[in-house]
Amino acid sequence: MKNITKRLIVWAIVVALILMIPLAMQFTNEVSLSEAIAYSVMLLAAGGFYELGQWLKTRDRAYRIAFGVGLAGAFLLFWANGAVGIIGSEDNPANLMYGAVFTVGFTGSLISRFKPRGMARTLFATALVQILIPVVALFIWPAQASWGEAGVIGVFAVNSIFALLFAVSALLFRRSSPTKF
């Protein structure tokens, strides 16, 4: 009962803050509609992370660490790819292929219902897709024209770091699984 009360308070605060955004827009012209939508999404994400934290409390330590490592890897990949791009600049169309990493991770997580064994397989598949992206890009885009200052070796090194994060997460999920495979 205490947990439900806390959750209701958190979501009441989130909803109240979201409702205050249009109110603030009535008094100032410095908040645009797109900013209001962005702020609302950030507040909903904060509430979602609170819910995620409550759900993860019911899992064992290896599962929580595995989830955190995988989520950190996905967040850093999204951030780096969106900010500066991994293959060349952020405008390089090759960077759009990284959407496959997120698709595999998200779809696999839903299919496995977030169970440790399925999550381990999902993260191994995610790591494999991460490694395959520069291989595919190497065949599609010429190396000297679009890979930026890092070059082909630098791009493969960066992808290896992200793949390593996903593989570590997969191994931790595997360790968390009650049935070893």
Which among 80, 118, 127 is positioned nearest to 100, based on CA atoms? 127
Domain boundary among 39, 58, 77: 58
Tens-binned pLDDT, residue by residue, of the chain (181 aa): 567 788 888 888 888 888 888 877 777 777 777 777 888 888 888 888 888 778 778 888 999 999 999 999 999 999 988 888 888 877 888 889 999 999 999 999 999 999 999 999 999 999 999 999 999 988 887 655 566 666 788 889 999 999 999 999 999 999 987 776 5
Encoded tokens for 52: 């995620």
Report yes or no on whether pTM surpasses 0.95.
Answer: no
Residues 37 and 78 in one domain: no
Cα–Cα distance for residue pair 37/52, rounded to 1 Å:
22
* Domain hosting residue 99, numbered range: 60-181
Cα–Cα distance for residue pair 162/84, rounded to 1 Å:
15
Domain count, the chain: 2
Cα–Cα distance for residue pair 149/84, rounded to 1 Å:
12
Residues 44 and 96 in one domain: no
Residues 91 and 155 in one domain: yes
Residues 52 and 80 in one domain: no
Residues 123 and 158 in one domain: yes
Residues 52 and 114 in one domain: no
Residues 149 and 111 in one domain: yes
